[in-house]
Amino acid sequence: MAKKLYVGNLSYNTVEDDLREAFSKLGEVVSATLIVDQSSGRSKGFGFVEMASDEDAAKAIAAMNGTMFMDRTITVNEAKPKTERSGGGGGGRDRGGYGGGGGGRSWR
């Protein structure tokens, strides 16, 4: 079964083919994806590599985590499942009531 790996602290000059080439030396690469900023198109400095098997993934983590790749010390570990994000999100401006209670005190 394929296993997805998180690869962080990548050089902004890294391209997907660089990831694919480096990880293919350690096992079969199913996919290599860099995360890019939508507005600028520039790499965000991390990506994902999907290895064909759990064994290939474990070998890649052991071999690549903490090593130099394109002049950067990279982090490689098992990717966590994508979390569900709630849509919209207006900033949560409801601050609740200001006054209230007081217990019958007068502030004179």
In a domain, 47, yes or no: yes
The count of domains in the chain is: 1
Distance CA 76, CA 7 (A): 5
Position 33 in a domain = yes
> pTM for this structure?
0.75
Helix (H, G, I), strand (E, B) or coil at 66: coil
CATH of the domain at 17: 3.30.70.330
Q: What is the pLDDT along the chain (108 residues), one digit of tens a residue?
A: 899 999 999 999 999 999 999 999 999 999 999 999 999 989 999 999 999 999 999 999 999 999 999 999 999 999 998 887 776 655 555 555 555 555 555 555
How is residue 76 written in tokens? 């490689």
Element (H, E) at 21: helix 16-24
What is the token pair recorded at 80?
Answer: 């966590």
Strands (E), 1-108: 3-8, 29-36, 43-51, 68-69, 72-73, 75-78
